[in-house]
Structure 1
Amino acid sequence: MVSRTVPSPSGPSPSGSTPWPAVAVVGGSLGGLTAALLLRDIGCDVTVYERSRETLQARGAGIAVLPETLRYPVERLGVPVGRITSSTGWIRFLGRDGGVRHAQRHRYRFSSWNTIYGTLLSAFGTERYRLGRDMTSFAPDGPGSVQVRFADGEPAHADLLVCADGIGSGARSALLPEVGPRYAGYVAWRGTVPERELGGPTFEALHDALTYQLLRGGHVLVYPIPGPDGAVEVGERLINLVWYRNVAEPDLAAFLTDRDGQPRPVSLPPGSVRDELVGELRRSAAALLAPPIAEVAARVEQPFVQAVFDIGVPRMVFGRACLLGDAAFAVRPHAAAGTAKAAEDGWVLAAELDAAGGDLPKALAAWEASQLALGSRLLERNREIGDSSQFAGTFRPGDPRLIFGLHGPGR
């Protein structure tokens, strides 16, 4: 489905028509902020509630950005795409000796989570972006309204509750207790290195490409992302490493125990990974990886780990509440479409609400049908790609399935 164009800000609906709803968005990450901005643009009264007490940060998280992720900053804010992304002109697959096994011209754009988040938050502002608001429950509050309760005891009332509270969504757990994250059988080791710290041959091999290496039971990729201050100039960027490695499910809990002996449910942030795991990573990198990629792995100061999970839901709408982004469909990262899917959810929700003239039940029904279909297709596509790499051994250089895209390879 191609998003319907959402009108630019137009203010409240005309007198005598259905009033634009008051909206509570729970979760202030990329999906929640995009939806909040779009709904505000068509005239909704929107407040975002974020459980974190501080402005969000994603340490070291680079992302490949699809057009849907960039659409709001570029179309609505007029931000030049080159200001918030780095770009590459090639896809290359390297062999263990560093030789090129496959190369094709293909432009990708990359950014960092912090860069996109900062752009969206600056546009939304902080007046209606409430930090430290951890939702504990919600329930109907009379006809056409919902009451939201938070850990601090102060409730909120809205006509529509948009639950964009991520892969660990409390809203999803309450609405669909039978649905939970499914571990994929592997983890992603991640980290970044300043581009200027790389040796000359490594820089030349990596700076203008999305670079892969296929391994037995996994694969690794590297690509440039904006620097910590948002710099996108060649030489001022970071090189981002993502190495997918299998960890059997019975071993996952022990693997995700941090250096202080505390179990972590999903990830080990920078600085928390046990020394023995980092040592094993570096030894394996030296033994298995092509020299340019091995240099990046060796220079990452604080590698971190994210276990790969996915989630799919049978429903996204529950009366005056809906699940958006990773709260509904959390997909493996192989199509680079997780943030794009969350953004697209917001675009389509605003478009359907505008087309329905503010009629929420009508808009939500149309939105759910389209986004359930999109989410289900994306979920299965990413599972197929991940399983072919990590377990089946059918991941091949130049496979057209690997081209990033939300609606299909390259789409």
Structure 2
Amino acid sequence: MFQYDYLIIGAGLFGSMFAYKAKLAGKRVLVIDKRPHVGGNLYCENIEGINVHKYGAHIFHTSNKDVWSFVNSIVEFNRYTNSPVANYKGKLYNLPFNMNTFYQMWGVKTPNEALMKINEQRNSAIEKMRGEGISTPRNLEEQALSLIGNDIYEKLIKGYTEKQWGRSCTDLPAFIIKRLPVRLVFDNNYFNDKYQGIPIGGYNIFIKNLLYKVDVNLNTDFFSNRIYWENMAEKIVFTGKIDEFYNYCFGKLEYRTVCFEEEIHDCTNYQGNAVINYTDKSVPYTRIIEHKHFEMFGLEVDACPKTVISKEYSMEWKEGMEPYYPVNDERNSRLYQQYKALASQEKNVIFGGRLAEYQYYDMHQIVEKILTFNL
């Protein structure tokens, strides 16, 4: 007789959501996590009265009304709208690419003028490729040039992308940029989704409410005593690295990771926006996050006497670092398929989340997946 119905390895969003649903269904659930806190990469630390996103900015967005209603039933979300700004060599551009961006880039004032400029640059790039015998973009650079042209690619895409992936755009696959959103309106709202926001009081409250009355063991590494933990429950929900679960029998998958340089400033407002991307490759970090803007608006910003920023540095993952993003190339895709084939044979193990499925997920996708999951 097992002590629990489910052992959930990892107290991030997937694990916490699964625990919530299983507990609601009357199942006996134990969650373990090797970190000293729950929430995975959603974890926030309160510094100077500000909820600091310790593992990078997380902005919830969805067009699924059921998903939005569900997360708001756990904790009320605020009205935060993601409107990042790009800094290229000291000049600022609004994101995503919209009429504000095109005015800042070229001085154009009407949608027709903007479209003419974009098409002029796109067609020039396409003609150049055709002259070189290239009919289909072979890499990210050619794909981006054929979609948006030279100016926006060089100033707002190239440097940022190469910092993010640690590779030249000519060495990255074209499918990473399937399309580039172009808005011929003055609209700086980054997401197209109908709903977006941040939990009021931060993500810690959201996770805490999901795990209410669920047994949780922190500072607990599944692999340090694997046999013991495998005999704890009838089924296992695994949210860690799938290659580690199988002892790297086919080889190690690769990841990108992010390191953060945190600073406290004695001012009420450092940059005037939550997210500013630095798209010039000579700047070593990819972006600066000013955390107070996620939850403080208007006069609230000035009422808090200090501010906290995080500079983000993207780099190759090494042992001991936190794996963030799967590397989308042929070698890793082929390797993951081998691990996936092994996983498909498991009867009592459920693999879920970005590490276990070697796939990037937005938060709403995880929530929707668990809400529709049959226990």
- Residue range with higher mean Cα deviation, 29-38 or 129-138: 129-138
Q: CA deviation at 1:149?
A: 1.9
Residues paired across the two proteins, number: 248
After superposition, residues 340-359 of structure 1 pair within 5 angstroms as 340-349=364-373, 352-353=374-375
Q: Quick one: which of 313, 318, 324 aligns to 2:352?
A: 324
SS of the residue 1:93 aligns to: strand
Report if aligned partners of 1:219, 1:244 keep a CA contact under 8 Å in 2: yes
Q: Any unmatched runs of 5+ in structure 2?
A: 46-53, 95-99, 102-186
Report if aligned partners of 2:19, 2:214 keep a CA contact under 8 Å in 1: no
Matched residue, 1:97 = 90
Q: Quick one: which of 288, 300, 318 aligns to 1:222?
A: 288
SS of the residue 2:89 aligns to: coil
Q: Quick one: which of 106, 110, 130 aligns to 2:217?
A: 130
* Alignment deviations for residues 100-142 of structure 1 (CA, whole Å, 9 cap, x no partner): 3754420565659x93244222342355223354324999xxx
Percent identity, aligned pairs only, is: 10
Q: Quick one: which of 22, 28, 45 aligns to 2:28?
A: 45
Report if aligned partners of 2:13, 2:366 keep a CA contact under 8 Å in 1: yes
SS of the residue 1:222 aligns to: strand
* Alignment deviations for residues 4-34 of structure 1 (CA, whole Å, 9 cap, x no partner): xxxxxxxxxxxxxxxxx92221222222111
* Alignment deviations for residues 315-367 of structure 1 (CA, whole Å, 9 cap, x no partner): 254111021113323456xxxx4544544443342xx34xxxxxxxxxxxxxx
After superposition, residues 375-394 of structure 1 pair within 5 angstroms as none
TM-score (norm: length of structure 2): 0.51
Seen in structure 2, the aligned counterparts of structure 1 residues 27 and 241 have a Cα distance that, compared at 3 Å, is same
Q: CA deviation at 1:36?
A: 0.9
Does residue 213 of structure 1 match 2:196?
no
Does residue 234 of structure 1 match 2:313?
no
* Matched AA of 2:232: A
SS of the residue 2:18 aligns to: helix
SS of the residue 1:87 aligns to: coil
Report if aligned partners of 1:188, 1:242 keep a CA contact under 8 Å in 2: no
* Alignment deviations for residues 164-196 of structure 1 (CA, whole Å, 9 cap, x no partner): 2x34874x334x632533145xx5342444577
* Matched AA of 1:214: T
Matched residue, 2:246 = 173
Q: CA deviation at 1:37?
A: 0.6
Q: CA deviation at 1:77?
A: 3.0
Report if aligned partners of 1:62, 1:225 keep a CA contact under 8 Å in 2: no
Structure with greater strand share of residues: 1
After superposition, residues 259-338 of structure 1 pair within 5 angstroms as 265-266=320-321, 309-310=326-327, 313-314=336-337, 315=340, 316-317=343-344, 318-331=346-359, 337-338=361-362
Matched residue, 2:125 = none
Q: CA deviation at 1:99?
A: 3.8
After superposition, residues 187-202 of structure 1 pair within 5 angstroms as 188-193=258-263, 197=267, 202=270
Q: Quick one: which of 25, 35, 40 aligns to 2:8?
A: 25
Report if aligned partners of 2:258, 2:324 keep a CA contact under 8 Å in 1: yes
Report if aligned partners of 1:54, 1:131 keep a CA contact under 8 Å in 2: yes
The higher-RCO structure (CA 8 Å, 6+ apart) is: 2
Q: Partners in 2 of 1:323 and 1:117 — Cα distance? A: 24
Seen in structure 2, the aligned counterparts of structure 1 residues 66 and 33 have a Cα distance that, compared at 3 Å, is same
Matched residue, 1:67 = 61
Q: Quick one: which of 205, 221, 232 aligns to 1:156?
A: 232
Report if aligned partners of 2:8, 2:237 keep a CA contact under 8 Å in 1: yes
Greater radius of gyration (CA): 2
Q: Any unmatched runs of 5+ in structure 1?
A: 1-20, 140-147, 254-263, 268-305, 354-411
